[in-house]
Structure 1
């Protein structure tokens, strides 16, 4: 027997459709740069959200009757799932890059910058080192945000590849090393680095390479070598104290997310030869250029000062890497 669909359910469906369209509009207006220059997966989800919202909205306007029982239960469950989807879409909104990272994305006589749907590459135009760096961004951070910090490494001759993670989540890009090696960048030896959650995934990749679980051949027939792990405000998910490569951990004294206590707690999980550097006065977001981050501490130095120190320490470490470290 048919009965009239409850008015409250119809209005909830319409409200969710409107809310979904508003969230997509807000995301596009506030973070369009981060969406356009990140992995396309999030843009695809936004398109799906718009299509779903329009379908639900139109259907709720045309539908006048509904069947009681399991059909109505499905609509109620659909409304709950829709609310969860809208929350997820809003949460996945990226932290878009700002200056000086945007300026560092431009090619010049020293460095050629190329961007694809999955990678950003900084290739030295002059004498090039065999040692490159593949870098995993922090969660939901526009990959361009690290350009100003990492570009000095490329200017010194080290190829740099920044991974674009699906939905800005590093655990969805555990193939970052293989993507970098297969990108055609002329480096035979690699350090793997990352910021925050990206550093945690970089640690997993570095271990896999060291254990021979990710042995990759280059176009010239030689095998790519993993030399070390570079952590920006990050630490491994588990014990990797027997890791054979070189490790540099750079953190900020005012970091409210990867706090000094959490960095210290990771000491036993890293090799005894790990170098620990603390940027005095630096916080979590200063490892990139993407504005303030919720939960972070207040920095006591300027972004320029913090990023200059980070770049200097990273470059010094990268320059000293040799095949014997891997």
Structure 2
């Protein structure tokens, strides 16, 4: 009986990997390689498990029942985690915004996307942490206008789509844009929470300090109201079902007293990027184009205000 359960789990594991590849292939290929490695390891383990289960059934020499049950439970849990980690793939207009043209050069590496202005380059650069499980390319359309304005932009590609696994990404971004005199650090949802940590740690540094924190539908995990000296802009939406208006209001006390709060009417959580609907989110009351323009323009004005003349 346990051997057949193992066979079924192996089949489910292969099915999950196939589903992820069919529905999120672009996000897997263009994302941090950690998840692709997990998918490969899952497939390999499924094949090995299938072979061992069949051999065990023929030989009638099963492992101790308790041990085999524990392995099956662990396997089922692992499969569930792999399925949960499936990224939200970027959709248009983000994919078009990833193209290099006369105004912006776009480059990708395994751990970041970089937008470099082709003309005059500002001394203020932007580093951005995506929301949990969201394809980093999904923020290309909303952040590209900052690069068109002259600000270098670096978007982190987080291992497994989790910002807490990319705590060192900001230091790597500094290396990618060595001429930046100061930085605005931002993020969406969980990415904003981690960006708050990074901003709080780096706003007092002598070289390439953080002068601004840009929160998209997000708030800090702890109280940084007294320690953070950088200016803060919090942009949220009235129809956000995840970082709800109530949560944003409750978290206001954890930010500096001069934080600017911009609440956009009709905007939902997923409209801060371009990756389709998200479970648990509210229903937007404005178009994606309207939401993106409002978010992008507010971001541009904020970053411009921090840039020396």
TM range (shorter): over 0.9
Note if contact 2:122-2:307 (Cα within 8 Å) is conserved in structure 1. no
Task: Find the structure with the greater CA-based Rg.
Answer: 1
**What does residue range 85-164 of structure 1 map to in structure 2 within 5 Å?**
85-164=78-157
1:10-47, CA deviations, whole angstroms, 9 ceiling, x for partnerless residues?
11100000000000000000000011111000000000
**TM superposition shift of 1:65:** 2.5
**What does residue range 205-244 of structure 1 map to in structure 2 within 5 Å?**
205-212=198-205, 223-242=207-226, 243-244=228-229
Note if contact 1:23-1:86 (Cα within 8 Å) is conserved in structure 2. yes
Note if contact 1:159-1:186 (Cα within 8 Å) is conserved in structure 2. no
Note if contact 2:123-2:307 (Cα within 8 Å) is conserved in structure 1. no
SS at match of 2:122: coil
Moved over 3 A (4+): none
Cα distance in 2, alignment partners of residues 131 and 67 from structure 1: 63
How many residue pairs were aligned?
305
1:47-103, CA deviations, whole angstroms, 9 ceiling, x for partnerless residues?
0000000000011112222256xx332211100000000000000000000000000
1:160-189, CA deviations, whole angstroms, 9 ceiling, x for partnerless residues?
000000000000001121010011453121
> Which residue, 226, 248, 268 being the options, matches 2:253?
268
Task: Please give the TM-score of this superposition, normalised by the length of structure 1.
Answer: 0.92
> Which residue, 11, 23, 32 being the options, matches 1:30?
23
Identify unmatched segments of 5+ residues in structure 1. 1-7, 216-222
Residue of structure 2 in register with 1:307 after alignment: 292
Cα distance in 2, alignment partners of residues 252 and 303 from structure 1: 12
1:200 aligns with 2:193: yes
- Please give the root-mean-square deviation of Cα atoms over the aligned residues, in Å: 1.1
Task: Please give the TM-score of this superposition, normalised by the length of structure 2.
Answer: 0.97
Identify unmatched segments of 5+ residues in structure 2. none
**TM superposition shift of 1:150:** 0.0
Cα distance in 1, alignment partners of residues 178 and 280 from structure 2: 37
